[in-house]
Structure 1
Amino acid sequence: MTSVAKRIAFLLSAGLLLAGCGDSLERFGGPTMGSSYSVKYLRSASGPSVEQARNEVEDILAEIDQQMSTYRADSEVERFNALPAGSCMALPASMLELVSFAGELSKDSAGAFDMTVEPLLNLWGFGPQSRGDQVPGAEAIAAAKADVGHQHLSIRGAELCKDAAVQLDFNSIAAGYAVDRVVARLGELGVSSALVEITGELKAIGRKPDGAPWRIAIEAPRDDRQSAQQVIRLDGLGVSTSGDYRNYFVRDGKRYSHTLDPKTGAPISHSLAAVTVVDESALRADGLSTLLMVLGPEEGAAYAERHGIAALFVTREGDGFRSRGSRRFHALFEQEEK
């Protein structure tokens, strides 16, 4: 999947810097989803070889690419997107599960999370069919919004149906889903300690050979350089960061983020620069980081508290940044903060 190369460029470089890998660990990686993936795992006597593990992981990634890439015309999602309003199409159970998951996030957030914003992404120059960065007029935005919204989708048995010319975009959850799939498969192969990163989304299980936990650094949201915002320990947790400081354009002195608010059809304009979510499910963390980024610092923080989400919000204040964690985030990482 050459998908979301722009969003992933942000996540890979901005989100998560890996730290503390022992020499006895097996490791491999490669290109995927327009970016890259990496796997580090502790191999036991009965565990999989690097070749076996790599083959298993890349089979999963190839399957997800075939199903969900918006950058290949023969993918399942692009065949669905090409259908007119009033159409139904049989889709793999995994895709229907993700559509259902996304629908719940959309409902819970009053539409802040939406997998059907591809027409708007293309209009603003951030989508797979875009014609370059541009600031569209109100009429063009209204026309694109007519085909946006989870309410236009319905699952009927093994089919997904649409009553408008909806175009699905799995890019806000595909990488997190892939991480969960890879970690689960490694577990089935006998791996009990691993760190899996796919386009910046990641999850760690078990501990390193020296018994220490996996540690990652959340990067500060800076345009000019990479620096760590906070280092956290992980065991059985996934991490996702979304932000607006890697993928944007400036027109007439105004900054336009790649993160769009489905309600307005325009890029977000609040002070939230980045949000990191930690959850047992990398899929859930992936979706929630986007959702909270759209909601912004006040509404996002309230949503996180209401739903018990471990989230770290970084807002712009003058020439600097201010970070604020939810109660759940502080409870998880209290030791790191002392």
Structure 2
Amino acid sequence: MRLSVIRPVIAVALATALTGCFNSVDPVSEMYGATMGSTYSIKWVPVDDAPDTEALQADIDGMLARFDAEVSTWRADSTLAQFNAAPAGTCMDMPESVLTMMAQSDRLSAESDGAFDVTVAPLLKLWGFHGDPQLQTVPDQELLEQAMAQVGQQHLHIDDGQLCKDVPLTVDFSSIGAGYMVDRVAERLEHYGIKSYMVEITGELKAVGRKPGDRPWRIAVEEPRDDNRVAQIILALDGESVSTSGDYRNYFELDGQRYSHTFDARTGRPVMHRLAAVTVLDDSATRADGLSTVLMIMGEEAGWDYAVSHQIPAFFVVRTGDVFESRATPRFNALIEGEE
């Protein structure tokens, strides 16, 4: 695994929070599509005996469509939506995707003392993040307590391949779902013998191998600005997944206070700290996706201490007035300086 960073900051037009930088003359195949209410892009160095681009895209699109049918919370007929609509005490057979993500979520929740939680959907709805933006408001305490009675990952458990809930919970895997599918698509590419590739789904990304000419996949991480898109750092990856969480794309302001769409299930409230964005590197895109959420919930101080003590490669961007200040954990610096 090789990883380096290029500075200084340069201005680029980024289609997503994370995107690749490519030379159009590279002999690299590519495909694009829509999924999870957003987009995906895949680039790879062709190999003999692998399917052609059209066949490979049909295969990948099929994977993404099956995943949507299993876990989408925006369609009533998905397996997870049916579970969410069922009453307390329900146990349902679940596909491997749900069981695997639930196991990963339980690990993240336990490691973060409950900061990570996949049942916060009632809170987002209450505060107005699911629906008409005109309804975004700070709820009164009574309504907040009612919503909190339907939140709590500890009320979920897996029993013999079934997912069970003790209270009427709504499960939403949006905090790790894209990362999970990045890992699955990467596995599919390697199944076909493809060893050098970049997979990006809704901004979650994994890059492996080298491009022709022994050049790395270069990935831009944008500065968390509200007004335009600027690359803050550019990473050269080989074997790492990258995930960025931030409060700069989905929030509302009321009476001069900024309310993020990132919620702490332990309080029922949006995070209110100065951390604008955090980027995490990990071999697993699923785990990078989840860890960036964990650190974003914890904030610039508790999140930093957690990342350092758990040796997480993380890059923090803190909002100080109109200025952004950034710092990287020792583990992140060790990776970009090639000390491993």
Q: What is the TM-score normalised by the length of structure 1?
A: 0.93
- Once the two structures are TM-superposed, the CA of residue 182 in structure 1 deviates from its matched residue by 0.3
Report the equivalent of 1:15.
17
Shift of 1:130: 8.7
User: Shift in Å at residue 210 of structure 1?
Assistant: 1.6
Could you report, residue by residue, the CA deviation over 1:182-207 in whole angstroms, capped at 9, with x for unpaired residues? 01100001111111100000100111
Matches of 2:253 and 2:132, distance apart in 1: 20
For residues 182-235 of structure 1, give each alpha carbon's deviation from its aligned partner in whole angstroms, at most 9, with x where no partner exists: 011000011111111000001001111121111111100100111111111111
**Of the candidates 127, 138, 158, which is equivalent to residue 135 of structure 1?**
138
> Partner of 1:7 in structure 2?
none
The number of residues matched between the two structures is 325
Is 1:318 the counterpart of 2:296 in the alignment? no
User: Aligned pair 1:41/2:23, yes or no?
Assistant: no
What is the aligned-residue RMSD (CA, Å)?
1.6
Distance 1:167 1:33 in 2: 18
Q: Does 1:76 align with 2:82?
A: no
Aligned to 1:232, the other structure's residue is in SS state strand
CA distance in 2, matches of 1:283, 1:51: 27
Please report how far the alpha carbon of residue 42 of structure 1 lies from its aligned counterpart in structure 2 after TM superposition.
0.7
| Structure 1 residues not aligned, in runs of 5+ | 1-11
State, as a whole percentage, how many aligned pairs show the same letter: 52
How far did residue 317 of structure 1 move? Answer: 1.3
The residue correspondences of 1:98-113 to structure 2 (distance < 5 A) are 98-113=101-116
Secondary structure of the residue that 1:111 maps to in structure 2? coil
Does residue 63 of structure 1 match 2:73? no
Q: Which residue of 2 aligns with 1:5?
A: none
Identify the match of residue 208 of structure 2 among 199, 205, 208: 205
Once the two structures are TM-superposed, the CA of residue 245 in structure 1 deviates from its matched residue by 0.6
Is the 8 Å Cα contact of residues 40 and 194 (structure 1) preserved in structure 2? yes
1:108-158 residue CA offsets vs partner (Å, 9 max, x unmatched) = 111100001011111112236998422211111111111111110111101
Secondary structure at 1:296's aligned position in 2? helix
Tell me how far apart the structure 1 counterparts of residues 37 and 202 of structure 2 sit (CA, whole Å). 8
Letter aligned with residue 307 of structure 2: A
How far apart are 1:16 and its partner, in Å?
Answer: 1.2
In structure 1, what residue type is equivalent to 2:312?
Answer: I
Shift of 1:17: 2.8
The residue number in structure 2 matching 1:8 is none
- Contact 1:25/1:40 (CA < 8 Å) preserved in 2? yes
Q: Distance in 2 between matches of 1:278 and 1:91?
A: 29
In 1: Cα distance, 2:289 partner to 2:218 partner: 19
User: Contact 1:275–1:311 at 8 Å: present in 2 too?
Assistant: yes
Distance 2:156 2:47 in 1: 46
Per-residue deviation at 1:104? 1.2
Matched residue SS, 1:218:
strand
Matched residue, 2:331: 328
Tell me the SS of whatever aligns to 1:106.
helix
Normalised to the residue count of structure 2, the TM-score between the two structures is 0.92
**Which of 218, 221, 224 is 1:218 aligned to?**
221
